[in-house]
């Protein structure tokens, strides 16, 4: 029966595939007509209206953020907690033995190469923007679980609170960048992997919903799913691009005295998008791959400099303290109800979970492409733990050293000035570098690193959106990828103009709410597919 069901799925795909095959359109675009046209037109209308009515747009954006933070906090926390439990269930169940690509499939990459690809898939400008900001902010302003701030109103230290506050500040940061977020990626990547490699369906998000929709997945229902995925990806990437522009501008101000303004940030986005267009034109091998390799080398150099030039033991202690506290406080920090840390939960965690959901189509598609041949069990364990550990090391070292700077000399700490006193978060990492050797040189490297993160995000994002809007193709024409790279940059610009950070948050949340519902349905579809594979491969 399982074999017949699997065969039926493939037969329905053959019958329905004409509905998703794109046509050669204007400018040589090879498009899946409805998804591309609706996504493109809606994006352009959004850009025009936001530019025409920036104040009204800003008010709407702020309302969306307020609604999601205060009303839907329980939903987003429960959602991501469920994803973790679902991943654990699959890993320990007999379904964990199912292999992506079939029982005889072999991995396309060695463990070392696969781990490196997993790491690069889900990181971005956030490593620079939040690695100093979050630990210091959480330890001093919006402490989770009611911990007393280590600073009194007059700026003097409160005895006995420093270590506890630092540990919770680091743990709160690890919460936002660790297993919870990667569980979101697992759901998306696992669904795509199973239905593409095991069921023979197109490499498209709509394919995951075949158990629910049947051949209707190739019609309007599937179009709506792919359109939601497009907007989720576009706004998730726009948030990263906006943060990258703000940090690059802040670094230019720190090193060269260039004013921090929206105009400057718009110029940065335009310039970097132009570079991204060159990378997109050169393609995956000649463009994105080389930029990603450069990105990794620069990130490693930057990290090692901070670790070695700074107080090394303090940085390593920050990693270990944050990790142990994160493990101990994992359940309290994950609880969706019964908490009194509104500022931390609503102001930070809800935004992060929405951001991870919005990035799920983007990163999930990438992870699925490089994970063929892995069993469900090793896939889940490795995707949850390996990238999380790398990120914990980075955040722990940067956060630990930054907290040490704040506590050692609070009166002269630029980190304290930028995070606590004046709250200029985009400058936080440059405040850290100011206390280390060669601050000017390393700040310039930090700016370049932020810009390269910016380019690789734009480039890879345009490839993913292009795949979705072309019906699952991975080799669509160059002009099409260039179009989406331009649209991504324009959306980031209009969000900055229409309300800055709150607009970026609103864009992510507005798309994450409906897409999160689709991801819940994906869990059911994944179980149906795994059940069929398990029965089929049972002697």
CB-based contact 391:177 (threshold 8 Å): yes
**pLDDT value at position 124?**
66
Structurally, the chain folds into a number of domains equal to: 1
Evaluate whether residue 45 is within a structural domain.
no
Evaluate whether residue 530 is within a structural domain.
yes
Using CA atoms, how far apart are residues 123 and 244, in angstroms rounded to an integer?
13
Mean pLDDT by 10 residues, the chain (539 residues): 40 44 50 77 85 79 79 92 96 92 84 73 74 87 38 37 80 93 95 92 90 89 89 82 83 86 88 76 56 75 92 94 92 85 82 89 85 93 91 95 88 87 87 91 87 74 77 68 81 77 73 91 95 66
Give just the sign of the alpha carbon dihedral 427, 433, 439, 444: negative
Evaluate whether residue 163 is within a structural domain.
yes
Evaluate whether residue 270 is within a structural domain.
yes
- The string of DSSP letters for 333-400 reads HH-SSS---HHHIIIIIHHHHHHHHHHHHHHHHHHHHT-TT-BHHHHHHHHHHHHHHHHHHHHHHHHH
Q: What are phi and psi of 161, to 5 degrees?
A: -100, -15
**pLDDT value at position 52?**
82
**pLDDT value at position 282?**
63
Evaluate whether residue 326 is within a structural domain.
yes
Evaluate whether residue 398 is within a structural domain.
yes
Domain coverage including residue 224: 2-16+72-114+129-332+341-353+361-536
**pLDDT value at position 153?**
35
Using CA atoms, how far apart are residues 95 and 529, in angstroms rounded to an integer?
10
The secondary structure of 229-266, three-state, reads HHHHHHHHHHHHHHHHHHHHHHHHHHHHCCCCCHHHHH
Distance of CA 93 to the CA centre of its chain: 28
Which CATH number covers residue 192?
A: 1.20.1730
| Residues pairing with 30 in the sheet | 24
User: Left, alpha or beta for 102 (phi > 0: left; psi -120 to 50: alpha)?
Assistant: left
Q: pTM value?
A: 0.86
For the chain, counts of helices (H) and of strands (E):
23, 2
Using CA atoms, how far apart are residues 178 and 180, in angstroms rounded to an integer?
6
Evaluate whether residue 487 is within a structural domain.
yes
**pLDDT value at position 11?**
39
The secondary structure of 259-275, three-state, reads CCCHHHHHHHHHHHHHH
User: How is residue 500 annotated by DSSP?
Assistant: T
Evaluate whether residue 184 is within a structural domain.
yes
């Amino acid at each position: 029966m399982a074999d017949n069901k699997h065969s039926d799925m493939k037969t329905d795909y053959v019958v329905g595939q004409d509905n998703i095959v794109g046509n050669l359109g204007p400018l040589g675009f090879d498009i899946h007509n409805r998804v591309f046209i609706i996504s493109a037109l809606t994006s352009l209308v959004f850009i025009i209206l936001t530019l025409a009515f920036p104040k009204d747009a800003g008010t709407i954006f702020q309302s969306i953020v307020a609604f999601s933070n205060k009303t839907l906090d329980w939903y987003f926390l429960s959602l991501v907690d469920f994803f973790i439990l679902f991943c654990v269930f699959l890993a320990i169940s007999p379904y964990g033995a199912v292999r992506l690509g079939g029982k005889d499939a072999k991995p396309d990459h060695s463990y070392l190469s696969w781990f490196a690809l997993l790491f690069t898939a889900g990181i971005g400008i956030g490593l620079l923007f939040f690695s100093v900001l979050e630990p210091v902010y959480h330890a001093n302003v919006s402490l989770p679980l009611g911990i007393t701030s280590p600073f009194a109103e007059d700026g003097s230290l409160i005895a006995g609170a420093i270590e506890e506050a630092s540990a919770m500040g680091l743990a709160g940061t690890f919460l936002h960048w660790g297993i919870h977020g990667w569980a979101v990626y697992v759901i998306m990547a696992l669904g795509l992997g199973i239905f593409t490699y095991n069921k023979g369906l197109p490499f498209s998000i709509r394919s995951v919903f075949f158990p629910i929709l049947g051949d209707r997945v190739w019609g309007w229902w599937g179009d709506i799913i792919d359109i939601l995925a497009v907007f989720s990806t576009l706004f998730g990437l726009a948030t990263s691009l906006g943060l990258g522009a703000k940090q690059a501008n802040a670094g230019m101000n720190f090193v060269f005295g260039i004013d921090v303004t929206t105009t400057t940030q718009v110029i940065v986005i335009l310039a970097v998008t132009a570079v991204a267009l060159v990378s997109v034109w050169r393609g995956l091998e000649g463009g994105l791959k080389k930029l990603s390799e450069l990105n990794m080398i620069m990130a490693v150099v930057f990290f090692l400099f901070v670790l070695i030039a700074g107080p090394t033991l303090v940085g390593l202690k920050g990693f270990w303290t944050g990790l142990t506290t994160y493990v101990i406080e994992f359940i309290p920090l994950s609880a969706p109800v019964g908490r009194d840390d509104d500022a931390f939960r609503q102001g930070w965690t809800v935004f992060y979970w929405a951001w991870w959901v919005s990035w799920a189509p983007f990163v999930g598609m990438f992870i699925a492409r490089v994970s063929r041949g892995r069993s469900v069990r090793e896939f889940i364990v490795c995707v949850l733990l390996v990238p999380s550990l790398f990120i914990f090391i980075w955040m722990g070292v940067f956060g630990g050293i930054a907290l040490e700077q704040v506590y050692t000399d609070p009166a002269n700490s630029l980190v304290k000035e930028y995070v606590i006193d004046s709250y200029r978060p985009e400058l936080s990492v440059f405040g850290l570098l100011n206390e280390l050797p060669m601050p000017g040189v390393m700040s310039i490297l930090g700016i370049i690193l932020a810009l390269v993160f910016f380019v690789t995000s734009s480039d890879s994002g345009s490839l993913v959106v292009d795949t979705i809007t072309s019906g699952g193709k991975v080799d669509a024409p160059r002009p099409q990828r260039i179009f989406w790279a331009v649209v991504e940059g324009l959306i980031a610009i209009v969000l900055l103009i229409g309300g800055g950070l709150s607009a970026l948050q609103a864009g992510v949340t507005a798309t994450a709410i409906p897409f999160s519902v689709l991801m819940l349905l994906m869990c059911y579809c994944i179980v149906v597919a795994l059940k069929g594979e398990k029965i089929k491969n049972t002697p």
